[in-house]
Amino acid sequence: MNGHSYDGKPEVQPVLIGGRWQPASLAGAFQAYNPASGERLLEVYPISSWEDLEKALSESSKIKLELARTSPEKIASFLRIYAELLEKNEEAITQMAHLETALPLKSRLKSTEFPRMLNQLRQAAAAVEERSWCQATIDTRLNIRAKYGPLGGAVVIFSPNNFPLAFNAVAGSDLASAVATGNPVICKAHPGHPGTTRLMAECLLQALEQSGMPASTVQMLYHFGNEDGFRLVSHPAVAAVAFTGSRAAGLRLKEVAERAGKLFYGELSSVNPVFFLPGILREKAAELALEHFSSCSLGCGQFCTKPGLVIFINDEPGRRFLWKLQQIFNQPLSGYLLSPAVLDNLKKAVEKLKAAGAVLLAGGHQIDAPGFQFQTTLFAITGEQFLKDPATFQQEAFGTLEVAVVVDDVEQMVRVAVSLEGNLTASIYYNPSDEDEEIYRRLEPAVRLKVGRLLNNKMPTGVAVTPAMHHGGPYPATGHPGFTSVGFPAAFLRFAARYCYDNLPEEHLPEELRSKNPNGRMWRLVDGTWTRSDI
Indicate if 227 and 338 belong to the same structural domain: no
pTM value surpassing 0.85? yes
* CA nearest neighbour of 179 among 127, 132, 253: 127
* CA nearest neighbour of 399 among 333, 467, 328: 333
Question: Does residue 95 form part of some domain?
Answer: yes
Indicate if 364 and 409 belong to the same structural domain: yes
Question: Does residue 4 form part of some domain?
Answer: no
Question: Does residue 250 form part of some domain?
Answer: yes
Bridging pattern class, strands 529-531 and 524-526: antiparallel
Q: What is the pLDDT of residues 509-522, one digit of tens each?
A: 999 999 999 999 99
CATH number at residue 402: 3.40.309.10
Question: Does residue 473 form part of some domain?
Answer: no
Question: Does residue 359 form part of some domain?
Answer: yes
| Burial of residue 107, with CB atoms counted within 10 A of its CB: 0-12 exposed, 13-18 middle, 19 or more buried | exposed
pLDDT at position 2: 38
Phi, psi of 528 (to 5 degrees): 85, 0
Question: Does residue 387 form part of some domain?
Answer: yes
Indicate if 107 and 145 belong to the same structural domain: yes
SS3 at position 188: strand
SS3 at position 345: helix
pLDDT at position 4: 43
Residues catalogued as catalytic:
267, 304
Indicate if 254 and 291 belong to the same structural domain: no
Omega cis (within 30) before 46: no
* CA nearest neighbour of 45 among 16, 18, 19, 82: 16
DSSP 420-431: ---EEEEEEE--
Indicate if 218 and 98 belong to the same structural domain: yes
Count the domains in the chain. 3
Q: Which string of b and e fits 123-134 if b means at least 16 CB within 10 Å?
A: bbbebbbebbbb
Helix axes 247-259, 226-233, angle to 10 degrees: 40
Report the alpha-carbon distance of residue 119 to residue 292 in Å, rounded.
28
pLDDT at position 333: 84
Q: Which residues pair with 500 in a beta bridge?
A: 146
Indicate if 49 and 179 belong to the same structural domain: yes
From the CA atom positions of the chain, what is the Rg in Å?
24
Return the DSSP state at 206: H
Distant-in-sequence, close-in-space partners of 254: CB < 8 Å, separation ≥ 6: 243, 264, 266, 479
Indicate if 198 and 319 belong to the same structural domain: no
Report the alpha-carbon distance of residue 494 to residue 488 in Å, rounded.
11
CATH number at residue 224: 3.40.605.10
Indicate if 221 and 298 belong to the same structural domain: no
Rounded alpha-carbon distances, angstroms, from residue 188 to 47, 53, 171, 224: 11, 10, 12, 8
Indicate if 315 and 347 belong to the same structural domain: yes
Indicate if 527 and 427 belong to the same structural domain: no
Question: Does residue 373 form part of some domain?
Answer: yes
Q: What is the pLDDT of residues 366-401, one digit of tens each?
A: 999 999 999 999 999 999 999 999 999 999 999 999
Task: Provide the domain limits for residue 525.
Answer: 510-535
Mind listing the pLDDT tens digit of every residue in the chain (535 residues)?
334 444 545 699 999 999 999 999 999 999 999 999 999 999 999 999 999 999 999 999 999 999 999 999 999 999 999 999 999 999 999 999 999 999 999 999 999 999 999 999 999 999 999 999 999 999 999 999 999 999 999 999 999 999 999 999 999 999 999 999 999 999 999 999 999 999 999 999 999 999 999 999 999 999 999 999 999 999 999 999 999 999 999 999 999 999 999 999 999 999 999 999 999 999 999 999 999 999 999 999 999 999 999 999 999 999 999 999 999 999 988 899 999 999 999 999 999 999 999 999 999 999 999 999 999 999 999 999 999 999 999 999 999 999 999 999 999 999 999 999 999 999 999 999 999 999 999 999 999 999 999 999 999 998 999 999 999 999 999 999 999 999 999 999 999 999 999 999 999 999 999 999 999 999 999 999 999 999 9
